[in-house]
Amino acid sequence: MRALLNAAKTGFTEIWAHKTRSVLSFLAIAAGSVVFIDAFSAIFATYTGLERQKEVSGMARMKISQNYSQTYSSPDDYVPPPVFRYEDVLRLREKMPELYMVSPEGRDWRNVLVYGEHRLTTSIMGVTPEWVKRDFIYTLKGRFLDWYDVENKLRVCVLVKKAAPPPGNNFNKSVMKKYNFTGGFDMLVAHNDMLGKTVNIDGFTFTVIGILEELPYSKRPDTITARSQEYKVLAPVTTLVHYNFIGQQSLDINIDTGSEQNFDESLRKINNFLKIRFGDGDFFIVENQLEIIRERIAASIKSALVTISLGMLAFLAGGIGIMNVTLATVFARTREIGIRRAIGASRRDIMLQFIVEAVMLGLIGGVLGSALGYLWGVPIKVMLGMGGSPIKVWMPLVAVFIAAFTAFAFAIYPAWVAAGLKPADALRAE
């Protein structure tokens, strides 16, 4: 232990005496630490997002929608597209009760909402209580639609209150402002307590039974459907059909099989259902959202691995730099080595001295890189509107350990060269 402390003291003195050389030596190590911490946080965010994705959005997802290319492919032989009605949804649910979610959606894109003196443009979506089973990124005031509302075609609705937009550049803000035709509706819901009140939508009176307030972007999990951009007014799908809001429009069906293991079998059964029910399964597209999720996860991991590779290259460059500096130090301190050997220092003592000095350079670079990695991952990214990285305590510790190990590995050869010098030859060196 005493020899180790003496080596550390000597190493610190040498590093301090050659500050410029030392800084240049550990800068590459520091850069590697920054990259590694960023990569670790990216991988951690991917897997954390995956768990939240499973909890909020599910993994075994698919969506049934009309295949317009099939119905419009021929200009002469037009085939009227079949319509997926609410009755078909009930039949599908009856045939496959094991499905976790069968959520139909039918949208009327442009509606006029009147509330007091306000007359605004909005959009209304027909759903069922199944809608809340997935992608629920809201807090609810009041209540949501229930099966009594759906079965009795009641004129009730739930309004969506938007969260504050995330930080972004001026170009994105101008684009959002240009295409946000429901901005007036968003302001109305944000600044008025409309729960329990009545609104008029396209001449029909609806009672507001609930307000869905979006979670802040910082607390919102990444979901498949990006509902924050889509939903304004939710009402029973049967009500919108009955009062001709969506008329004979085909419904889109969001499905969750509940288990990845049952996904392929459920997909086969659904395709068979479409063929039997409509005569040709090609009239509809069954989007495999499970594959989309898997591809997104694979892309995130691939990006993180590329980043880790860059970090490894930076560590490699830093290690080579430390090795070169240590070799130069060995040849510059040949007489010192000879004197130490002459008064009784062993080869082990000489190796320890240079290895400790190199490891100290690695530790300093690792600590500096960890501090810079935290600054980049949290405050700087937030200020740039990129979102902070989920940096955990173990990430800087691992980066510092890798930095120290890299310095140790690359210092072994120079230390071995120093220890191999013969005392007489070293003393004769100028």
pLDDT digits (tens, 9 = 90+) for 397-423: 888 888 888 888 888 888 888 877 776
Provide the pLDDT for residue 3: 58
Per-residue pLDDT tens over the stretch 20-35: 666 767 677 787 788 8
Provide the pLDDT for residue 429: 55
Please say if the pLDDT value at position 244 is more than 80: yes
Provide the pLDDT for residue 228: 43
Q: What is the rounded average pLDDT of the residues 179-201?
A: 89
Q: Which two tokens stand for residue 240?
A: 């919108």
Chain-centroid distance of CA 209 in Å reads: 34
**1-10, 318-327, 399-408: which is most confident:** 399-408
Question: Which amino acid belongs to residue 309?
Answer: S
Per-residue pLDDT tens over the stretch 36-56: 787 778 777 777 777 777 777
Q: Dump strand ranges (E) for 238-298.
A: 252-256, 284-288
Per-residue pLDDT tens over the stretch 269-278: 999 999 999 8
Local confidence band at 245 (pLDDT 50, 70, 90 cut-offs)? very high
Whole-angstrom CA distances from 165 to 48, 155, 169, 227, 413 are 23, 31, 11, 14, 56
Q: Which helix (H) or strand (E) holds 277?
A: helix 263-278
What is the overall mean pLDDT for the chain? 81
Using CB atoms within 10 Å of the CB of residue 162, give its burial: 0 to 12 exposed, 13 to 18 middle, 19+ buried.
buried
Q: What is the rounded average pLDDT of the residues 202-228?
A: 79
Q: Are strands 204-214 and 156-161 parallel, antiparallel or unpaired?
A: parallel
The owner of tokens 């173990």 is 394
Cβ contacts of 298 within 8 Å, gap of 6 or more: none
Greater model confidence, 310 or 249: 249
The owner of tokens 């220890």 is 419
> How many degrees, rounded to 5, is the angle at CA 408 between CA 404 and CA 409?
120
Q: 12-16, 86-90, 150-154, 292-296 — which is least confidently predicted?
A: 12-16
Local confidence band at 84 (pLDDT 50, 70, 90 cut-offs)? very high
The residues facing 120 across adjacent strands are 113
391 contacts 374 by C-beta, under 8 angstroms = yes
For residues 42 and 391, give the distance between their C-alpha atoms in angstroms, rounded to a whole number.
9
Q: 128-132, 224-228, 237-241, 350-354 — which is least confidently predicted?
A: 224-228
Cβ contacts of 307 within 8 Å, gap of 6 or more: 35, 38, 39, 42
Greater model confidence, 307 or 429: 307
How many Cβ atoms sit within 10 Å of the Cβ of residue 386? 12
For residues 104 and 127, give the distance between their C-alpha atoms in angstroms, rounded to a whole number.
6
3-class state of residue 362 by DSSP = helix
Per-residue pLDDT tens over the stretch 342-372: 777 788 888 888 888 888 888 888 888 888 8
Question: Which amino acid belongs to residue 244?
Answer: N
Q: What is the rounded average pLDDT of the residues 124-149?
A: 94
Cβ contacts of 259 within 8 Å, gap of 6 or more: 60, 100
Look up residue 106 and give its DSSP letter: E
Q: What is the rounded average pLDDT of the residues 317-325?
A: 81
3-class state of residue 259 by DSSP = coil
